[in-house]
Structures are given as structure tokens and as C-alpha cells.
Amino acid sequence: MLKSLASALVLLLALGSSAPAAAQIEAPAEPAAASPCDRLPPTDLRRICDRGRLRVARYGGQRPPFFFQGEDDDWLGFDVDLARDIARRLGVEVEEKLAASFDEVVDLVAEGSADLAVSKLSITLERSQRVRFSKPYMTVYQTLLINRLAAPKQEDPFEFLDQAAMRVGALEGSSYIGYARSEFPAAKVQPHTDFARMLLDVTENRLDAALVDSARANTWRRDNPERLIQVRAFVARDRKDQLAFAVSWQDTHLLAWLDLYLDSIRDDGAADRLYDKWFIEPVGR
């Protein structure tokens, strides 16, 4: 009996000595380095941080000084700088999502293909049914660029132009085509896809007027002084057009951050400096 127990003990010791090293107790692994995104709650801002990119929707056409292509085909402008500054403060890169129209910009945000729209986008009731808007970052006004001969100076050209014989142009796919149809139900509202061509039609009396925003009207007047003998501007100060950022209806954390961002750049003067850069100081175009 003692001999059998001794043999079993020798066998157990032999098996123990041949056990693989993996069966031995291992030292605990080094903890993974913390990500800057770890400090964020699991909201829309965390999603953007984890991705490392802010997907920004913008109309693919040119709307100087809000966005336009420079000599090297780089995108420049007020909205471009705003989008890049937002991304910088969030600690991510910008990924541009260009759309064929302003309404398609809203579609990109509503369907989740973009996190944010920075695209000279007007706040409208119809768009607000699909996306959330931030506080306005700029207020412009509905403006008529009027052919001086076709529509002589009147007290209120909005009333004068609302006649069956009048021809009013507005850019297709923008809020202004809706404004024009609402303001001039009796007139012939003619959608245009090209701003320069629309204003040429006003100059050459193929249109009686074009409905645009005051910022675009001021830029056109500054760049085309020779045409002011044929075209005059009427700024409707009682018809505000507020421009804002748009986000998905569910991205409430991002929306709150954007509103705080706007307050911040207004308080520290960054908003004024950006406005002066693109709307006051001469820039190459």
C-alpha cells in the first residue's frame, strides 16, 4: 500500500513539472491609455469625438462671401471659417458634405449623413419640422434688386411687383423661391439656378426684379458698380431672414454646445473679427 502511494506521488510531481507556462499566474496587463473622448457622456458629441471628424453639410455652389472657391480651388468664406473653428474647438477634423441645393443640405442632416449644416441656411417653419436650428448667427433681410425702367421707384415695391405682368426671379432650391411665391402670388415667379445669370436678366429687362438676401445684394452691388445705373436695391427691414446652424432633431447635446459657442465668439469679439474679414475688408475673389 505504501509502495502504491509513493508511486502515485511521483507521478503527480512529474505531471506538475511538465505543465505549460500559460497555466501559471500572469502579471496584470497595463491599463489602456485614456482617450480624450472618454470624458464625454455617450451623446452626439461623444460620437463625433470618437469618429475624429465633424461632417459638415454645405451647398456645393458658390455664395461669396459665405463660401466660394479661391484661386487654388480651396473653399473660402465666412461659413467655411465658422465650420473649421467649430471643428477645431471640438478637437476634430472637418469632413465636407456638399449638396446640390439648400434643401438637400437639410436632407443630409435630417437623414444622418451630416452632423451639422453651416451653409447660409435660413430658418424656416418647413425646415424646422425636420431638423433643429441653433440660435441665429446672422440676420439678413429680404432684398429686391429691381430693374429701374421696368419697375420705377415706388413706396413699396413689394406691392408694386405683385401684379400678373411682373416677373420676379429667385434661386431654385433656396428659401427665397418660397418667399417669392408667398410675397408675389399674382406675379410670374421664375426660378433660377445661377445667381449671375439671374442678375443679368434683371439688368437686361428679362426680369423686373430678383428677390435675394441683403448680404448677397450688397456683395453684388459692390462687385458690379457699372450696373447700378440699371438696377436699384430695396432692403425690406421688416422681412428678416435669420441664418443658423442645423443639426439632427436628436442631437440636443451638440445643439446646446453650438448655442454656447455662438455666445462665446460674440463675447470675445471673434464673431466681429470674422464678419469684418469677409464683409468689410477687401478680399480677393
Helices (H), 38-101: 44-51, 78-90
Q: Tell me, what's the pLDDT at 13?
A: 42
Whether residues 214 and 146 share a domain: the answer is yes
Provide the whole-model pTM.
0.78
> How many CB atoms neighbour CB 282 within 10 A?
6
Whether residues 223 and 166 share a domain: the answer is yes
- Dist CA 10 CA 31 (whole Å): 42
Whether residues 113 and 134 share a domain: the answer is yes
**pLDDT 10s digits, 231-241:** 999 999 999 99
Whether residues 131 and 154 share a domain: the answer is no
Whether residues 266 and 235 share a domain: the answer is no
Residue 15 has pLDDT above 50, yes or no: no
Domain ranges, residue 54: 45-139+242-280
Whether residues 189 and 225 share a domain: the answer is yes
- Look at the chain and count its residues: 285
Burial label, 49 (beta-carbon count in 10 A; 0-12, 13-18, 19+): buried
Number of domains observed in the structure of the chain? 2
CA atoms within 13 A on the CB side of 184: 28
Q: Which residue has the higher pLDDT, 22 or 279?
A: 279
CATH label of the domain that carries residue 145: 3.40.190.10
Quick one: which of 231, 182, 226 has its CA closest to 205? Answer: 231
Whether residues 85 and 160 share a domain: the answer is no
Whether residues 188 and 52 share a domain: the answer is no
Would 23 be classed as within a structural domain? Answer: no
Residue 108 has pLDDT above 80, yes or no: yes
Whether residues 145 and 205 share a domain: the answer is yes
Would 2 be classed as within a structural domain? Answer: no
